[in-house]
Amino acid sequence: MSTLIQYLLDPQFVVMVLAAVAAFATVASFVLPLLTGNRLDARMKYVASERERLRAERLANFAEEQRQAKLRREPKSFMKQVVEQLNLRKALETEGTRERLKMAGFRGQAPVVAFLFFRAILPPFGFAIVFFYLFFIDDFGLAPIVRLGLSIGGAYLGFYFPNIFISNLIQRRQKSIKRVFPDALDLLLICVQAGMSVEAAMNKVASEIGSRSIELAEEFSLTTAELSYLQERRQAYENLGKRTGIAVVKAVGTSLIQAERYGTAISQALRVLAKESRDMRMAEAEKKAAALPPKLTVPMILFFLPVLFIVILGPAAMQFMAMRG
């Protein structure tokens, strides 16, 4: 055993292990990007399949009852069975829930079923975990009524955890769209001024902007698909604003609706909105920069000042101890 410990602590062996780890990390940094594939192509394929699905639904409205009967004969998944048996759609599903899922990038019925399933299953799961830990593993010296209250708190946290998860996804998605949207408006303005239609311009901008924001490229592609099959083009522009939940995107949709309704040029409106969007992005960056000094105050007090005091007072303290010795 001592020989093994000496071998593991040998400097030559340690250097060899660190070199192997560094070599593996270097190879992985070059190989992993090649294995992940192109996310933009996958999202574009998903958008194309979504467009074909929506068109097929419109063409197959007359066979809706037969399709429902076929779905009832198919085996149901476990999540769907739980949601239907507990009647969670009537109790928890709302229009706001569906809109929030769309804003987070989830579309279709499967995400709704999964969301309702986790909202139903996480409260008892959280209650059971906290209850078991506090009553059978470590009670931390708490009274039984306090432990029971903490268990109920775990159930409460489990009930709202899916909403917190969706809110974080919405914020991340909106942040990605806001960062690139001014540049996308500039590209859209250039395409429109070049004589392209709105559908062709959005499709072109989606293909160009996808390397910087897959989310915005996906939204533009879905809007292009909706413009091709919806009876009212106004609905497609309104859906774009609802799916993103961003004020400037809704303003662009309103400008496009007014331009098509009254026959006015949209180039000037797009130019003004692009400038306002850039100003908003700059203001947001300045706001974050202004908030940086207060955020750095506590880390500097905890980590920088003690080191500074040690560097300044350390030699004097050493000399004082040497003189006393």
Sequence-ordered list of residues with C-beta below 8 angstroms from that of 102, at least 6 positions apart, any chain: 242, 243
pLDDT score for 79? 77
Helix (H), strand (E) at residue 250: helix 247-262
pLDDT (tens digit per residue) in 21-37: 777 777 666 666 665 55
- Neighbour-count burial of 31, counting CB atoms closer than 10 A to its CB (0-12 exposed, 13-18 middle, 19+ buried): exposed
Better pLDDT: 246 or 68: 246
Helix or strand holding residue 104 (H, E): none
Query: Does the pLDDT value for residue 74 go beyond 80?
Result: no
Region 68-96 average pLDDT:
66
Task: Give CA 89 to chain center in angstroms.
Answer: 24
CB atoms within 10 A of CB 23: 10
Q: 293-306: per-residue pLDDT in tens?
A: 888 888 888 888 88
**Average pLDDT rounded to a whole number, residues 54-70:** 51
DSSP reduced 3-state for 138:
coil
- Return d(Cα 199, Cα 218) in angstroms, integer: 14
Confidence check: pLDDT of 43 > 70 = no
Q: CA 141 from chain center: how many Å?
A: 40
The tokens for 306 are 């003690």
pLDDT in tens, 106-162: 887 888 888 888 888 888 888 899 888 888 887 777 888 888 888 888 888 888 888
CB 239 within 8 A of CB 228: no
